[in-house]
Amino acid sequence: MNESKNKKLEKGFIYLVGAGPGDPGLITVKGKLALDNCDAVIYDNLVPSELIVALPAHIERHYVGKKSGRQCCSQNEINKLMIKLAEEHNSIVRLKGSDPLIFGRGGEEAKFLRQHDINFEIIPGVTAGVAVPAYCGIPCTDRQLASFVMFVTGHKAREKKASTVPWEWIGKAKGGTIVIYMGVGEIENIVGTLIKSGMSPDTPAAIIERGTFPTQKYVASKLSELPSAVKEKGIKPPSLFIIGEVVTLQPWLEWFKGKPLMGTRVMVTRAAAPAQKIYEYLREQGAEVLPYPTIEVEEYLDPKGWNAYDKIKSKNRWLIFTSETGVRFFMKQFLEQSGDIRRLGDYKIAAIGTSTAADLQKFGLMADFIPKKATSIALGKEMKEKVDLKKAEIVRVRGVLAADSIEKALTEAGANVIPLTVYNTYYPEWSGGLKEKLFEYPPDVIIFSSGSTVNGLYENLEKEEVKSLISNAEIYSIGPATSKILKEAGIKVSEEADPHNMTALIDQMVKNITENKNGRSQ
């Protein structure tokens, strides 16, 4: 084998990846693969937060976001960062909103990399000019109404004194669609020039703010009324303007509506990895997901616990699981050490609730005992009352921060309880523009899945910031233990799941929000 293949590259490989315009599901398969397998990522403000928070913990994250009127990093600083990371890592993703080559400076960055002998690959993304109108039911072209489409920028580059877009020429064009990016601040001048150049003031037009998000805002008007609509509706970037007869098709082709949580922003505080299914389910219900994990989990290897596990001899032996995370890391470590799931055949299994029992079923394991209430206290108490635990040896699968109420209850019943710690819980720090985004578009609902998620919120926010965040939000708690900690923190609980699992909690949320919407419409 060539020795050079075993050595770290002198310079890393950079992927210029388009993330799509907002909906995290719009990133391409190839782009997601590059992202999940990189060593570091450099990302912009318009990149969906979910794509970042769900990354493996070892991936370095560098925020270089730009917003209208403000810059976090200059292009020169971004270029220097790319060189630095290429010297330190093998694989780097430069993640940009929409498509990197459509008004995204991807071409400039690719040229810079070539000039510095850094290898790169461009992975196109779904551009906002196509996806955003589509999410409102507007096609860019139509056999009868539009035989061409123009993508133009309404934004003046800082180094330009005036726009170089030929608006006078565009104003004379007939039978097509004009899609304007970044035009909120210049729309009055643009519309005035188009009409002055011959475009009819009555030409159908539309504004779409935050397109592809469930909370997107759509406004239709005549071309001449666009500037006033921007002011009246308080339109802000990112927004897209569509001008042309295709706008008239919107009532026929509209599809992105009607789901129960449409227009509702839901903040999820659970750790990112186990929250993936929650994100997906909420999006299916029409919610805009705000992925803000206030806790994170990492694998923890407990040699002492596994050594005690290997010495179990009792015929009355149990495994107790109190979370999906415990199931996941226990099975990982068990299979790595044993490689034979049949070695679990001598154990009976207890699960804290139906959700954890369902996670066990993914490995072909059925829970023998599930308490009526999905709490640690109830599990210990009910097992103590209903199960013969004398001389039993019980492996309590847990995290570092888990309470010891189960261990105490079962020890009192005569069992030998072996704590086996398989994961650690820690409080992550929100970085890279996440906190700023949260207060710019605050949640309507906040979901807390454990007491730790409540404590983690205060690790990232000051008390006054929490007070502001929850002021107009409904608070959903997974169960009594979490509700108790919320109340101790002075946070009023709007709804508590029954039974105490995420499925029941989200179903109750859907029911409540649907009933509220129906009540308002009557």
| SS3 assignment for 103-135 | CCCHHHHHHHHHHCCCCEEEECCCCHHHHHHHH
- Measured over the CA atoms of residue 367, residue 371, residue 375 and residue 379, the dihedral's sign is negative
> And the tokens for 251?
């009532």
Q: Specify the pLDDT at position 69.
A: 52
Looking from the CA of 73 toward its CB, the CA atoms found within 13 Å total: 18
pLDDT at 41 over 50: yes
Looking at 69-83, 163-177, 342-356, 448-462, which range is the least confident one?
A: 69-83
Letter string b/e over residues 11-22, b meaning 16 or more CB atoms within 10 A of that residue's CB: bbbbbbbbbbbb
CA distances from 112 to 74, 79, 260, 272 (A): 14, 7, 47, 35
CATH assignment, 130-253: 3.30.950.10
Tell me what pLDDT residue 370 has.
95
pLDDT value for 161: 61
Domain ranges of the chain: 11-126, 130-253, 265-295+428-521, 298-426
pLDDT of residue 522: 56
pLDDT at residue 467 in the model = 96
Catalytic residue among 32, 66, 348, 484: 66
Interval 183-218: pLDDT, tens: 999 999 999 999 999 999 999 999 999 999 999 999
| Nearest-angstrom CA–CA distance, 305 and 303 | 5
Closest among 96, 126, 92, 90 to 108, alpha carbons compared: 96
What pLDDT is stored for residue 7 in this prediction? Answer: 44
Is 182 among the residues known to form the active site? yes
Mean pLDDT of the chain: 92
Q: What kind and span of H or E run contains 416? A: strand 416-426
pLDDT at 268 over 70: yes
Architecture of the structural domain at 298-426: 3-Layer(aba) Sandwich (3.40)
| 142-181: pLDDT as tens digits | 999 999 999 999 987 545 566 789 999 999 999 999 999 9
384 is catalytic: no
Q: pLDDT value at position 131?
A: 98
pLDDT at 20: 96
pLDDT at 521: 58
* Chain centroid, CA 414 distance in Å: 45
**Catalytic entry in 182, 199, 267, 383:** 182
User: What stretches of 212-287 adopt beta strand conformation (E)?
Assistant: 217-222, 239-243, 265-268
**In terms of Cα–Cα distance, which of 245, 244, 248, 283 is closest to 266?**
283
Residues 6+ positions from 493 with CB-CB distance below 8 Å: 475, 476, 477, 483, 486, 487
What are the C-alpha distances in Å from 383 to residues 96, 344, 394, 395, 413?
Answer: 53, 20, 11, 14, 9
Question: Residue with structure tokens 């072909």?
Answer: 364
Asked, colleague to colleague, whether 130-253 and 298-426 share their fold, the answer is no
Domain formed by 265-295+428-521, architecture: 3-Layer(aba) Sandwich (3.40)
Share of the chain above pLDDT 70, in %: 95
Q: Which of 23, 44, 99, 359 is catalytic?
A: 44
Q: Is 251 exposed, middle or buried (0-12, 13-18, 19+ CB in 10 A)?
A: exposed
The pTM (predicted TM-score) of the whole model is 0.89
Point out the least confidently predicted range of 343-347, 395-399, 478-482.
478-482
Amino acid 184: pLDDT: 95
DSSP 3-state percent helix, strand, coil across the chain (nearest 5): 40, 20, 40
Query: Regarding the domain delimited by 11-126, which CATH topology (the fold level of the hierarchy) does it fall under?
Result: Cobalt-precorrin-4 Transmethylase; domain 1 (3.40.1010)
Q: 318-370 pLDDT, tens per residue?
A: 999 999 999 999 999 999 988 889 999 999 999 998 889 999 999 999 999 99
Using one digit for the tens of pLDDT, what is the confidence trace for 279-300?
A: 999 999 999 999 999 999 999 9
Nearest to 372 by CA among 386, 389, 358, 390: 386
Q: How many helices (H) and strands (E) does the chain have?
A: 20, 22
What pLDDT is stored for residue 2 in this prediction? 42
Whether 286 and 215 have beta carbons less than 8 Å apart is answered as no
